[in-house]
Amino acid sequence: MPDEEVLEEGLLNPVQPEIQDPLLKSILADNATPATEPTGEEAPNPLPDPTDEVDCVVIGTGAGGAPLLARLAMAGLKVVALEAGPRRDPTKDYATDEKAQNFLFWNDERLSAGQNPVAFGKNNSGTGVGGSTLHYTAYTPRAHRGDLQLHTDFGQGVDWPFGIEELEPYYEEIEHFLGVSGPTPYPWDAGRRKGYPLAPLPLNGAALLMQKACAQLGIQTSPAANAALSARYYQEGIGWREACTNRGFCQAGCNRGAKASMDVTFLPLAESFGAEIRADAYVTEIERDASGRVVAVVYEQHGRTVRQRCRHLFLCAGAVETPRLLMLNELALNSGQVGKHFMAHPGMQVWGTFEDDIRPYKGIPGGLISEDTHRPKDADFAGGYLLQSIGVMPVTFATQMVRQRKLWGQPLRDYMRTYNHTAGINILGDCLPHAANFMELSDEKDARGLPKPRLHFTAQENEQRMNRHAEKLMRQIWEAAGAKDIWAFERYAHVIGTARMGLSGDDAVVNPDGKAFDVPNLYICDNSVFPSALSVNPALTIMALSLRTADKFLANLR
């Protein structure tokens, strides 16, 4: 697919993201809000005037909250984002040290139950102005048509209430706004209108080994799409962002601004259009009037309790804290779906030891991808998965390794000396919703006196079959690459689907526009509204949904 629209590396300037919605376009045209300087303030915000009512409050500034915040601000609305975590300066505060960056994770304790208890914190959930995107690996594959219609195709799982064509224009807009580096044409999606704005990032040791072995086995691979800049890039609301230096530390935080986390992309854009972001603001209560409309939210900030009145509320606190807030406030519970059908992506990893000096800390961790396994011919399961090469930092690697292999004493130290010679592959696979997998409030209280969430997760037959298929294949790949001492780590990551979207309030919490069935002015947008898990990493799709939700909301405002 030759693509005349791919601009020269580093010169692309998405000055004005393309607006999809005609009505929004006209609102924007009527509403020429002058852009203000980003505040970037560190000091606590002044207390809001108790009588002040803003148009929209957005809870959470991650992949779900940040894009819509920008969109609403650009439409001229008065918007405030409340973010439980801190605002940090990546260039000064982000050490290249895994332990020193623990503050980026949502470290409040969650209870993990079921046969495959899911690890949270580092494995899963971030906090701070930018949410989990502060430490995502920034893999940004698009979902495929089939991912949204699992039930139609397999008679299992559920379909999304709309097709992929609803998301495609947003995918395109976001890829160009963030500056995604990736291959054009994209091997598994020939019909794409626009290529990636930047060329792929260089392949590191693990990626090259996987590439060679897959070629031998007849598996097609390609450099992955990654929201880290392979060249300098101009971003509206920020200016120039610097290129990735292959620092390999994206899973903690990027100190260069090369990785497209929300704090260097949608959030400054939102602020430049007048959005206010309040960090260290932990929301505990959502107030309603007699008619059931949300009228205000209450949050804790720097030891004081603050109330903010609002006309509309956007709940984007992630797929554990969103249902938790709904349960704590007895909100939107009529469908009985809040907390239900919790999903986690199978993320099986296979590691091997090689003769080569690989240095897994170098290069973007997610270098190479294969989507040949999206619908494997020999599959005995519904859905599919993708394959990715992985780089890893030593502390993460060591702790995962001991959890799996239980090495201790001298054998542990000996094994870790092969760190520079290890390389990994992992999958990211679909997960079916199942009644046994859900979130509930436990009796145990957290430091604020609120019940801790308990999450039940058991990999069901479909996930187990997928894992077996994937483990066998990844072992074959590493054997073909000449690895020794191959071992697999069964893991589940990403929290999905606890407040799902659907056509009816009988079995879904929000409608296809993200609007709660039960509450007239409540919208939900984050990983929790996914009706099914998708066989791709979620962040790009969450962002696409976020813009779509904002456009639908603005269209309804009239």
> Which residues of the shown chain bind ligand FAD in the complex (CB under 6 A)?
59-65, 82-85, 106, 124-127, 131-133, 135-139, 251, 281-283, 316-319, 321, 325, 366, 494, 526-527, 537-540, 542
User: For ligand SF4, which stretch binds (CB under 6 A), given 104-112, 217-225, 239-247, 497-505?
Assistant: 239-247
**How many whole angstroms separate alpha carbon 2 and alpha carbon 218?**
25
| Least gap, CB of 203 to ligand SF4 (angstroms) | 13
Contacted by 553, from ligand SF4, another protein, ligand FAD, none: CB < 5 to 8 Å by type: none
Q: Is 112 in the site for another protein (CB under 8 A)?
A: yes
Q: Is 416 in the site for another protein (CB under 8 A)?
A: yes
Q: Is 92 in the site for another protein (CB under 8 A)?
A: yes
Q: How far is CA 42 from the centre of its chain?
A: 26
Write the interaction track for ligand SF4 spanning residues 203-232; mark x where CB under 6 A is met and - where it is not.
-------------------------x----
The single residue listed with the structure tokens 């526009």 is 513
Q: Which helix (H) or strand (E) holds 323?
A: helix 318-328
Backbone torsions φ then ψ of 552, nearest 5 degrees: -65, -40
Torsion of CA 390, 391, 395, 398, to 10 degrees: 50
Instruction: Pick the closer one to ligand FAD by CB: 106 or 397.
Output: 106
Instruction: Pick the closer one to another protein by CB: 106 or 266.
Output: 106
Contacted by 233, from another protein, ligand FAD, ligand SF4, none: CB < 5 to 8 Å by type: none
User: For another protein, which stretch binds (CB under 8 A), given 39-47, 154-162, 223-231, 351-359?
Assistant: 351-359
Strand, coil or helix: 402 = helix
Instruction: Pick the closer one to ligand FAD by CB: 100 or 215.
Output: 100
| Least gap, CB of 244 to ligand SF4 (angstroms) | 3
- The tokens describing 25, both together, are 């376009």
| Least gap, CB of 89 to another protein (angstroms) | 10
Instruction: Pick the closer one to ligand FAD by CB: 19 or 228.
Output: 228
Crossing angle for the helix pair 65-74 and 539-557, to the nearest 10 degrees: 30
- The tokens describing 89, both together, are 């300066």
With CB under 8 A as the rule, give the number of residues binding another protein.
69
Q: 305 near 50, Cβ under 8 Å?
A: no
The single residue listed with the structure tokens 């209430």 is 161
Q: Is 467 in the site for another protein (CB under 8 A)?
A: no
- Which of 53, 93, 479, 507 is in the footprint of another protein by CB under 8 A? 93
Closest CA to 146 of 346, 343, 375: 375
Backbone torsions φ then ψ of 452, nearest 5 degrees: -75, 145
Instruction: Pick the closer one to ligand FAD by CB: 238 or 499.
Output: 499
Q: Which helix (H) or strand (E) holds 414?
A: helix 410-416
Contacted by 394, from another protein, ligand SF4, ligand FAD, none: CB < 5 to 8 Å by type: another protein
Q: Are strands 484-489 and 349-353 parallel, antiparallel or unpaired?
A: antiparallel
Strand partners of residue 287: 296
- Which of 6, 23, 119, 217 is in the footprint of another protein by CB under 8 A? 119
Amino acid at 435: A
342 secondary structure, DSSP code: -
Contacted by 228, from another protein, ligand FAD, ligand SF4, none: CB < 5 to 8 Å by type: ligand SF4
| Least gap, CB of 546 to another protein (angstroms) | 24
Cα within 13 Å of Cα(257), Cβ side = 20
283 secondary structure, DSSP code: E
Q: Is 254 in the site for ligand SF4 (CB under 6 A)?
A: yes
**How many whole angstroms separate alpha carbon 60 and alpha carbon 342?**
20
| Least gap, CB of 396 to ligand SF4 (angstroms) | 14
How buried is 54 (Cβ within 10 angstroms: 0-12 exposed, 13-18 middle, 19+ buried)?
middle
Instruction: Pick the closer one to ligand FAD by CB: 287 or 356.
Output: 287
Contacted by 165, from another protein, ligand SF4, ligand FAD, none: CB < 5 to 8 Å by type: none
**Residues in 341-380 at the binding interface with ligand SF4, rule: CB under 6 A:** 364
- Which distant-in-sequence residues (6+ apart) come within 8 Å of 115 by Cβ? 457, 458, 459
Q: Are strands 239-241 and 233-235 parallel, antiparallel or unpaired?
A: antiparallel
Applying CB under 8 A, the residues found at the interface with another protein are 92-100, 102, 105-113, 117-125, 202-205, 208-209, 245-249, 255, 354, 356-359, 361-363, 393-395, 398-399, 402-403, 406, 408-410, 412-414, 416-417, 419-420, 444, 447, 454
